[in-house]
Amino acid sequence: MKKRELIKALKDLAAAHGVELERVREGENHEIWGIGSLQFPIGRHAEIPEQTARSTIRAARNHLENQ
């Protein structure tokens, strides 16, 4: 999955729950993004492995549904 597609999916998911996806900080190899109190790394690569992308979306969805 392209990184921009993952970011868009996370932004749409956050917006549907009335919160905002924000970049917390940038590292050399990863960026740390956050939705509420959940923070997760996203690699600086143009292409994110499909399993990693699905896992990140699933974790964000679970966090938002349990708030």
pLDDT digits (tens, 9 = 90+) for 21-51: 999 999 999 999 999 899 999 999 999 999 9
pLDDT given for residue 43 in this prediction: 94
Percent of the chain at pLDDT above 90? 94
CB atoms within 10 A of CB 53: 19
- Say if residue 67's pLDDT is above 90: no
